[in-house]
Structure 1
Amino acid sequence: MSTDRYYPTDLTEEQWQVIAPLLPQPKKREGGPGRPPCHPRWIVNGILYVNKTGCQWRMVPKEYGCWNTIFDYFNRWQKQGVWSEVMEQLRQQERQRQGRLAEPSAGCADSQSVKAATQGNSIGYDGGKQVKGRKRHVLVDTLGLILAVVVTAANGDDRQGLKALLSCYFAKGVKRLRKIWVDGNYSGSPLQNWVARLKKTHKLKLERVEKTGPGFNLVKRRWVVERTFSWLFNYRRHSKDYERLTQNSEAMIQISMIHLLLKRLA
Structure 2
Amino acid sequence: MWTNADRETYRDRSSRYPSDLTDAQWATVAPLLGGYDPLTADLREMVNACLYLEKTGCPWRYLPTDFGPWETVRTWHDRFRADGLWSEIAGLLTRAVRQKRGRPAEPRTAILDSQSVVSGPQAGVRGTDGKKKVRGIKRHVLTCSRGFVLAALVTAANVHDTQAAGWLFDRAAQAGWAPERVKVDGIYTGARMDEAAARHGLDVQVSTRPPEVKGFEPLPLRWRIEATFGTLSTRYRRLTRHWEQSPAAAEDAISIANCHRLLRAYHREQDCAA
TM-score, normalised relative to structure 2: 0.87
Aligned to 1:188: 190
Structure 1 gaps of 5+ residues are 30-36
Q: State the Cα deviation string for residues 87-136 of structure 1 (Å, max 9, x = none).
A: 11111111122232221000110000001114332211111111111100
Q: State the Cα deviation string for residues 54-103 of structure 1 (Å, max 9, x = none).
A: 11011111111111111111112112211111111111111122232221
Contact 1:23–1:86, Cα closer than 8 Å, also in 2:
no
131, 134, 138: which one pairs with 1:135? 138
User: Root-mean-square deviation (CA), in Å?
Assistant: 1.5
14, 18, 22: which one pairs with 1:12? 22
Please state how far the C-alpha of 1:26 moved relative to its aligned partner.
4.1
Q: State the Cα deviation string for residues 165-204 of structure 1 (Å, max 9, x = none).
A: 100011244x4411100001101123213322432xxxx1
Determine the C-alpha separation between the residues in 2 that align with 1:135 and 1:88.
Answer: 23
Point out the structure with the larger helix share.
2
154, 158, 180: which one pairs with 1:155? 158
Contact 1:25–1:40, Cα closer than 8 Å, also in 2:
no
Q: State the Cα deviation string for residues 24-69 of structure 1 (Å, max 9, x = none).
A: 554344xxxxxxx211110011111110011101111111111111
Aligned to 1:225: 225
Aligned to 1:262: 263
Alignment of 1:1-266 (within 5 A): 5-23=15-33, 25-29=35-39, 37-173=40-176, 175-199=177-201, 204-212=202-210, 213-233=213-233, 234-266=235-267
Q: Which runs of 4+ in 1 moved over 4 A?
A: none
Aligned to 2:6: none
Shift in CA distance, 243/56, structure 1 to aligned 2, threshold 3 Å? same
Structure 2 gaps of 5+ residues are 1-13, 268-274
SS, match of residue 221 in structure 1: coil
User: Which residue identity is paired with 2:69?
Assistant: C
Aligned length: 251
Query: Percent identity between the aligned chains?
Result: 37
Shift in CA distance, 28/135, structure 1 to aligned 2, threshold 3 Å? closer
Determine the C-alpha separation between the residues in 1 that align with 2:258 and 2:139.
Answer: 14
Shift in CA distance, 118/22, structure 1 to aligned 2, threshold 3 Å? farther
Please state how far the C-alpha of 1:143 moved relative to its aligned partner.
0.5
